[in-house]
Structure 1
Amino acid sequence: MKIRLKKLSTQVIVITGATSGIGLTTARRAAKRGATLVLAARNEDALLRLVEELGKQGTQVAHVVADVGVEQDVRKIAQVAIERFGRFDTWINNAGISIFGRNEDVSLADQRRLFQTNFWGVVHGSLVAVEHLRNRGGALINLGSEVSDRALPLQGAYSASKHAVKGFTDSLRMELQAEGAPVSVTLIKPAAIDTMFVEHAKNYLDVEPRLPAPIYAPELAADAILYAAEHPKRDLFVGGAAKLISSSAHYAPRLMDTIMKRFMFQQQRTDVPAQDRDRNSLHAPGSDLMQRKGQPGHVFESSLYTQAAMNPKPAMVLFVGTGLALFALWRYRQSDVR
């Protein structure tokens, strides 16, 4: 069955983890494009302020206080969407959290809590979304990561959870395709993004952690997500670095092990002594309604690779045109030599 997705301006979109980072950026950009929104997060105060902000702009928006690790909370999100707007067309599983520390140092309780959000939150959201979408069509969009394909040291639980999200998403996609369900299933794989990721993570290191470069703007991830809401895509990498890391992990895994061992420990450490370990959002919501932290150093505001992935025809025209131009230049120089 051919999958047909609606224009964003006619869609009802569910976004989990909607009060911070990529989720918040996606909500604001979707609102500007006329979408109706159902926003979910643990932070009720932040949700209410966001609903007020978007409502003043004319956006139809509902909110649900929910912990995606709890199945009944996720079912409540779908219930509110259907009761308020009669349906939803796209479901975005965005909520996520990380932990910095050596695997041996991180408590099993914290690792289980991370998986409850990052993996089981995606499972809950995906299965609830599919119940509704398989009969009417739509898009399911799950947030993976570049570490879905290549694990990082010092973020073992996070890497494992994103590997698990990839495995579950790929399996679910095949099952839906086999039954002919009109549901587009997309896995978004961002590189490091300038959000509140580090501030929300729990830290076991002796110094404050940081994201390894290169770092990209959250707007790039939001644009990729919203593109997938309108265009069926299997995967979308956000940032050329994400694609490079994934490809290198596939074709040269031992070389990547060596590179990671050599550089990735130090790249995730700062010179700032660690602050209070309890200041994190692993078990309870923290400060929200911030799209970016404001990373030191350069943040990429665009990605030619991601733009090409979202606009393959213009990219191919440009590629072929460039090739023809280079060929013509070469022929001209050859004839000039003669």
Structure 2
Amino acid sequence: MPQTVVITGASAGIGRATARLYGKRGANVVLIARGQAGLDAAAREVEELGGKALVRTADTAGAEQVEEAATAAEQAFGPIDVWINCAFTSVFAPFDEITAEEYERVTKVTYLGFVNGTRSALKRMLPRDRGTIVQVGSALGERAIPLQSAYCGAKHAINGFTSSLRTELLHRGSNVHVTIAQMPAVNTPQFSWVRSRLPRHPQPVPPIYQPEVAARGVVHAADHPRRKQYYIGATTLATVWANRLAPALLDRYLARTGYDSQQTDQQPPSGESNLYEPVDRVEGSDHGAHGIFDDSAHSRSLEAALARHPALVASGVALGAAAAGAAVRRGLAHSS
């Protein structure tokens, strides 16, 4: 029997790349996002690759819309096996330049959207005592950086929410599993459509990985959900350990380097942002999985490969810790 998989934020970026992988498996893939053009293109890709697709246009900030999509998913394909929360939005700006309304919007989509998706998934999975939920997290949920306070706050909240839920499932002896795939900087279209008040074009903090690296991590986490979380990309592991070993030092490093490292030397995007409305809502406006950083993005990750082989993870952790401390010290010395 093919798996039935629900993916929020499926129209672009990591969600889009993950949908393709499940399409190759012949899965039933339920694609949820706001942008119709991106969803339609994702559905075509899933079916061309051998899967079946169902498109549901929904804003994950609205619990009722998410619940309606979940109902439609099971009416079309039967019980949901895997639910992947990936939808998000953000604002690139110093905190005091983000309005209260913008902050609320980012939080509703990027945090409460995950809560809404998880609630709808559990409503169906708990009575059957089976199913897996994957939260697509971020290294920024472990270690915040400047200019992304709303996004970092939401990703931190997802970690806390998921840890609390995990203990409740353990208390119940449930066979429903929840795990987090913590992501590095990824080359997605968000950097061209995010709302930004930066003087130059925003970019992910290098090194940058392609969405396919992230998608492989998501699928692996769904296949092996008993681990609390997975760190995708060596930089994610290094960031986590640097924050654990030398948080004050890392504060100073990010204060000195975090502004320039999140901007290119190009002019800021001139188009509309996707904060309140999708930018791929009309035919011909599909953005695909990749952003504009293909020339500098990595298509492979040694650490992600290590994560798929638990016997080697210990050595990866040790290397990550050593690299993290060295990188921070070098950065501070260089910027002094």
Q: TM-score normalized by structure 1?
A: 0.87
Unpaired runs of 5+ in structure 2?
A: 281-285, 317-336
CA pair 296-86 structure 1, distance change in 2 beyond 3 A: closer
Return the match for 2:69 from 77, 93, 103. 77
Letter in 1 for 2:212: E
Q: Distance in 1 between matches of 2:71 and 2:310?
A: 37
- Is 1:245 aligned to residue 243 of structure 2? no
Q: Distance in 2 between matches of 1:112 and 1:247?
A: 30
Q: Distance in 2 between matches of 1:30 and 1:219?
A: 12
Unpaired runs of 5+ in structure 1?
A: 1-8, 320-338
Q: Aligned residue for 1:331?
A: none
Indicate if the aligned counterparts of 2:23 and 2:47 stay in contact, CA closer than 8 A. no
Q: Distance in 2 between matches of 1:17 and 1:117?
A: 10
SS of match in other structure, 1:181: coil
Q: Aligned residue for 1:99?
A: 91
Letter in 1 for 2:89: I
Q: Distance in 2 between matches of 1:318 and 1:171?
A: 29
- Report how many aligned residue pairs link the two structures: 309
Q: Aligned residue for 2:9?
A: 17
CA pair 129-209 structure 1, distance change in 2 beyond 3 A: same
Return the match for 1:135 from 113, 121, 127. 127
Letter in 2 for 1:163: H
CA pair 197-126 structure 1, distance change in 2 beyond 3 A: same
Letter in 2 for 1:143: V
SS of match in other structure, 1:273: coil
Q: Distance in 2 between matches of 1:113 and 1:25?
A: 25
Residues 22-37 of structure 1: pairs in structure 2 closer than 5 A: 22-37=14-29
Indicate if the aligned counterparts of 2:22 and 2:46 stay in contact, CA closer than 8 A. no
Structure 1 stretches of 4+ moved >4 Å? 316-319
Instruction: Tell me how far 1:263 sits from its aligned partner.
Output: 1.1
CA pair 109-306 structure 1, distance change in 2 beyond 3 A: same
Return the match for 2:186 from 190, 193, 197. 193
Q: Aligned residue for 1:302?
A: 300
List per-residue Cα deviations over 1:38-64 (Å, max 9, x = no partner): 111111233223323433444222111
Indicate if the aligned counterparts of 1:40 and 1:47 stay in contact, CA closer than 8 A. yes
Instruction: Tell me how far 1:205 sits from its aligned partner.
Output: 1.4
Q: Aligned residue for 2:259?
A: 265
| RMSD of aligned alpha carbons | 1.8
CA pair 113-216 structure 1, distance change in 2 beyond 3 A: same
Instruction: Tell me how far 1:318 sits from its aligned partner.
Output: 9.4
Percent identical among aligned pairs is: 32
Q: Distance in 2 between matches of 1:52 and 1:272?
A: 34
Q: Aligned residue for 2:309?
A: 311
Instruction: Tell me how far 1:220 sits from its aligned partner.
Output: 1.2
Q: Distance in 2 between matches of 1:49 and 1:295?
A: 21
Q: Distance in 1 between matches of 2:314 and 2:59?
A: 45
SS of match in other structure, 1:80: helix
Indicate if the aligned counterparts of 1:38 and 1:64 stay in contact, CA closer than 8 A. yes
List per-residue Cα deviations over 1:153-187 (Å, max 9, x = no partner): 01111111111111111111111111111111111
Q: Distance in 2 between matches of 1:57 and 1:262?
A: 46
